[in-house]
Amino acid sequence: MIETIDLTKKYGDFFALDSLTLKLERGDLFGFIGPNGAGKTTTIRILSTLLSPSWGEAYVCGQSIYTNPREIRRLIGYMPDIFGVYDDMRVIEYLEFFASAYRIDGPARRQVAERALETVDLAFKRDELVTSLSRGMTQRLGLARVLLHDPQVLLLDEPASGLDPRARIEMRVLLKRLQDLGKTILVSSHILPELADICNRVGIIEHGRLLACGNVKELLDRVRGRPVVRFVVAGPPGRAAEILAGCPEARDVAVRDDAVLVSLADGVTDHSPLAARLVADGQRLLEMKFEEVNLETAFLELTRGNHPMPG
């Protein structure tokens, strides 16, 4: 549904986007992760045909951004990170206005607007002024607007930016619902853990370059490396660390936050002998589990060396 090949945007000597090659399949909910200025918005604007690349190619629904921009605009729904609303309009009027811009006429216009409000759980606000909506509701209204013409692809630039925790949860639920309806969705965010639970694939971008791309498990496995087991004992962890450091199953041992972290030796998958050694020494074992690597940790590991150090 979306494919880019060496997509590049250059301003003078600065690469806002550097040789991006990416492919999204039909039905993907793809999380585009990176800090501000990483190239997320540039990519989305190029895909939505609002910005021309310096070189490279991009296809949306099989259509080239160079030869069929009008067809692409018909097939996509683009929601920028900041969009304006008409203060003197009611919610239903706002959507009907944009439905007319999509050349949806007659009774179908009201039906389409009502259906979009139902989809984003905003029907109870249909007769309220747009200015009365909270930030979260305004974002949902913006999403309703891009759904009016039933696009196949949604390009959502930081849709959860500035939302409170409850509104962010509601936005995630809504994105999953849209995926279930068959939409292909590219959603950008700099809030790293937010996309882990909802996206079937994620891409990490930094300084215009795509550093990693795959499903969440693949990225976590990539940075996890060898398994690390976390041990917590009833007493001070120093003695436990000494015992574990002498075990052949352990490669590296470290104490962190009153816990002992053990990196397993090559080929070791059974960590029960480590626990047995602790118990044999009289240690009271309170916790033993594999150390988890979350999406935020993955981001930091994958971008290490690609971000300038603060001066």
How high is the pLDDT of residue 308?
Answer: 37
Q: Strand order of the sheet with strand 209-214?
A: 76-79, 153-157, 184-189, 29-33, 201-206, 209-214
Average pLDDT, the chain: 89
Least confident span in 76-80, 149-153, 303-307: 303-307
pLDDT tens across 84-106, in order? 778 789 999 999 999 999 999 88
How high is the pLDDT of residue 167?
Answer: 87
Instruction: Label residue 16 exposed, middle or buried (CB < 10 Å: 0-12, 13-18, 19+).
Output: buried
pLDDT band at 147 (very low <50, low <70, confident <90, very high): very high
| Residue range 297-308: mean pLDDT, rounded | 60
> What are the sequence ranges of the domains in the chain?
2-214, 226-292
31 contacts: CB under 8 Å, gap ≥ 6: 187, 188, 189, 195, 196, 198, 199, 201, 202, 203
Q: Which CATH number fits domain 226-292: 3.40.50.300, 3.90.1150.10, 3.30.70.100, 3.40.190.10?
A: 3.30.70.100
Rounded distance between C-alpha atoms, residue 17 and residue 210, angstroms: 9
Q: Is the pLDDT assigned to residue 214 strictly greater than 80?
A: yes
Q: Which residue has the higher pLDDT, 110 or 164?
A: 110
The proportion of the chain whose per-residue pLDDT surpasses 70, expressed as a percent, equals 91
How high is the pLDDT of residue 311?
Answer: 29
pLDDT band at 290 (very low <50, low <70, confident <90, very high): confident
How high is the pLDDT of residue 129?
Answer: 95
How high is the pLDDT of residue 305?
Answer: 53
Phi, psi of 70 (to 5 degrees): -65, -40
Report yes or no: 175 and 185 within 8 Å, Cβ to Cβ. Answer: yes
How high is the pLDDT of residue 296?
Answer: 64
305 contacts: CB under 8 Å, gap ≥ 6: none
pLDDT tens across 17-72, in order? 999 999 999 999 999 988 888 999 999 999 999 999 999 999 999 999 999 999 99
The proportion of the chain whose per-residue pLDDT surpasses 90, expressed as a percent, equals 66
| Residue range 111-118: mean pLDDT, rounded | 96
Could you give the 3-state DSSP secondary structure of residue 45? helix
- Tokens (6 digits) for 278: 């602790």
- Tokens (6 digits) for 215: 């499903």
Beta strands in the chain (DSSP E): 2-11, 14-24, 29-33, 55-60, 63-64, 76-79, 153-157, 184-189, 201-206, 209-214, 228-233, 250-256, 259-264, 285-290
How high is the pLDDT of residue 268?
Answer: 86
**CA neighbor of 212 nearest in space, from 226, 230, 192:** 192
pLDDT band at 300 (very low <50, low <70, confident <90, very high): low
How high is the pLDDT of residue 35?
Answer: 83
Least confident span in 109-123, 183-197, 201-215: 183-197
CATH class of 2-214: alpha beta
| DSSP alpha helix (H) spans, 164-271 | 165-180, 216-224, 237-245
Report yes or no: 40 and 32 within 8 Å, Cβ to Cβ. Answer: yes
Q: Which residue has the higher pLDDT, 289 or 84?
A: 289
Report yes or no: 253 and 262 within 8 Å, Cβ to Cβ. Answer: yes
How high is the pLDDT of residue 257?
Answer: 83
pLDDT band at 309 (very low <50, low <70, confident <90, very high): very low
pLDDT band at 293 (very low <50, low <70, confident <90, very high): low
How high is the pLDDT of residue 301?
Answer: 66
How high is the pLDDT of residue 15?
Answer: 96
Q: Is the pLDDT assigned to residue 114 strictly greater than 90?
A: yes
- Tokens (6 digits) for 93: 């009027």
